[in-house]
Amino acid sequence: MTPHNKLFIPGPVEVSENTWAAFSRPMIGHRGEDFKNLYRAIHPGLQTLFGTRQPVFLSTSSAWGVMEASIRNLADRGVLCCMCGAFSDKWFDVAKRCGKNAEPLQVDWGKHIDHKAVERHLATGKFDTVTLIHNETSTGVMNPLEEICRVLAKYPDVALVVDTVSSFSAVNIEMDALGIDVMLTGAQKALALPPGFSLFAVSGKAFARAEKIPNRGFYFDFLEFKKEQANWMTPSTPSIAHIHALQFKLAEIFEEGLEARFARHARTNALVHDWVRTAGFDFFAEEGFRSKTLTCVKNNKGIDVLEFARKLRDKHHLVIDPGYGKIRGQTFRLSNMGDETEETVSHLLTCLDDVL
């Protein structure tokens, strides 16, 4: 039997056997009472994780579907795209492909989005929508969400869309308190579910905006989601297996406790950071703005990163990421999100030392 290669890449992350068991529960119909009861049962927990009293929606898509949907549902006058890595850069491209007037707020990869720069751009009056990735997975940068939200609070006519794909449920994010208008996440990161599913919530302000925007389409129309959720349904056929697995995962999360979960991610992240320093590597992300769920390691030692990753996989059956996009080989990424513990992360670090 071929040994299993365990994932320590920043998404998709390792999925537990218990989660897979929940994923394979018997199928139910998506227009019957069983499904309504399932959605109704998981909803309060989702609202708690989002920090919102707004409805939380289930999208059978990657998070990119909702990222594009946010542009199509909200953007009118102009979109300010906060760009600090591969995924935030791509959001700018997506906005332009949707025919929107989009402008970049670009910083070098590895740097964070400065709230003062956001304020300077918003003061021009050119924008009614801002896109922000909280935790830029390609570079390991965690942007200062609270500071940026305080700026947005001064511009009530501007909608803030926040991608929390690789930070959601690993750090505390209170959507309503922060004034976020669309908060979205994916299943395959800290939630440790199989990929292909996403969650999002929309503010009252954003719903009102969407009502005035033409050509929203159907599959990702926020108003369709709102109408169907009122009856505990989705606009189109969802991946019911994902929702069964999500129900199991929510029970697991709340059994551990949110504060304990956040603390566990902080501890495992600190272990990785200690290893980076001890091994003589540097961090790609600037100090003070580093992710709590993954670490982007700068290859200042000039090792062959692809060979390093290959040896780790062949000898120890552990998989790490050899860098994303234009920094492939110049960096490598180590994930500590999802179900990982101090024991499992320590094992990874011991194995890294062995092949280094």
Q: Is residue 331 part of a domain?
A: yes
Q: Is residue 42 part of a domain?
A: yes
**For the residues 5-24, what does the mean pLDDT come to?**
98
2 has a pLDDT exceeding 90: no
Q: Environment class of residue 224 by beta-carbon count within 10 Å: exposed (0-12), middle (13-18) or buried (19+)?
A: middle
pLDDT band at 104 (very low <50, low <70, confident <90, very high): very high
Q: Are residues 22 and 66 in the same domain?
A: yes
pLDDT value at residue 114: 98
**For the residues 201-225, what does the mean pLDDT come to?**
97
82, 132 contact by CB (below 8 A): yes
The CATH number of the domain holding residue 339 is 3.90.1150.10
**For the residues 137-146, what does the mean pLDDT come to?**
98
Q: Is residue 185 part of a domain?
A: yes
Q: Are residues 248 and 261 in the same domain?
A: no
Q: Are residues 199 and 347 in the same domain?
A: no
Q: Are residues 264 and 205 in the same domain?
A: no
Question: Any idea of the CA torsion for 292, 90, 131, 190, to the nearest 10 degrees?
Answer: -30
Provide, rounded to the nearest whole percent, the portion of the chain with pLDDT above 70. 100
**For the residues 217-222, what does the mean pLDDT come to?**
97
- Eight-state DSSP code of residue 138: T
Among 254, 285, 312, the domain boundary falls at 254
**What gap in Å lies between CA 190 and CA 172, rounded to an integer?**
12
Q: Are residues 201 and 290 in the same domain?
A: no
**Could you tell me the CA-to-CA distances from 303 to 177, 210, 275, 324 in Å, in that order?**
45, 50, 16, 16
**What gap in Å lies between CA 343 and CA 180, rounded to an integer?**
35
- Of 113, 57, 53, 83, nearest to 238 by C-alpha is 57
1 has a pLDDT exceeding 90: no
Across all residues in the chain, what is the average pLDDT? Answer: 98
Which one is predicted more confidently, 47 or 3? 47
Q: Is residue 247 part of a domain?
A: yes
- Of 258, 76, 87, nearest to 185 by C-alpha is 87
Give the domain extent around 39: 17-254
How many domains does the chain divide into? 2
DSSP track, 314-356? HHH-EE-B---GGGBTTEEEEE--SS--HHHHHHHHHHHHHH-
pLDDT value at residue 103: 98
Q: Which helix (DSSP H) or strand (DSSP E) does residue 124 occupy?
A: none
Q: Are residues 314 and 202 in the same domain?
A: no
Question: Any idea of the CA torsion for 186, 187, 189, 195, to the nearest 10 degrees?
Answer: -100
pLDDT value at residue 131: 98
Among 254, 289, 318, the domain boundary falls at 254
Q: Is residue 298 part of a domain?
A: yes
Q: Is residue 1 part of a domain?
A: no
**For the residues 59-79, what does the mean pLDDT come to?**
97
**For the residues 3-12, what does the mean pLDDT come to?**
96
Provide, rounded to the nearest whole percent, the portion of the chain with pLDDT above 90. 99
pLDDT value at residue 64: 97
pLDDT value at residue 331: 98
**What gap in Å lies between CA 102 and CA 99, rounded to an integer?**
9
17 has a pLDDT exceeding 90: yes
What pLDDT digit, counting tens, does each position of 244-260 carry?
Answer: 999 999 999 999 999 99
**For the residues 80-102, what does the mean pLDDT come to?**
97
Q: Is residue 269 part of a domain?
A: yes
pLDDT band at 146 (very low <50, low <70, confident <90, very high): very high
The CATH number of the domain holding residue 41 is 3.40.640.10
Q: Are residues 284 and 216 in the same domain?
A: no
- What are the tokens at 154? 């001064």
pLDDT value at residue 19: 98
**What gap in Å lies between CA 284 and CA 288, rounded to an integer?**
12
CB atoms under 10 Å from CB of 274, counted, come to 11
Q: Are residues 286 and 242 in the same domain?
A: no
What pLDDT digit, counting tens, does each position of 268-306 carry?
Answer: 999 999 999 999 999 999 999 999 999 999 999 999 999
Classify 329 in phi/psi space as left (phi over 0), alpha (psi -120 to 50) or beta: left
pLDDT value at residue 199: 98
Q: Are residues 263 and 204 in the same domain?
A: no
**Strands 159-163 and 135-136, bridge-based pairing:** unpaired
pLDDT value at residue 136: 98
**For the residues 107-115, what does the mean pLDDT come to?**
98
Q: Are residues 279 and 225 in the same domain?
A: no
Among 254, 282, 311, the domain boundary falls at 254
Q: Are residues 106 and 59 in the same domain?
A: yes
Q: Are residues 229 and 310 in the same domain?
A: no
pLDDT band at 39 (very low <50, low <70, confident <90, very high): very high
125 has a pLDDT exceeding 90: yes
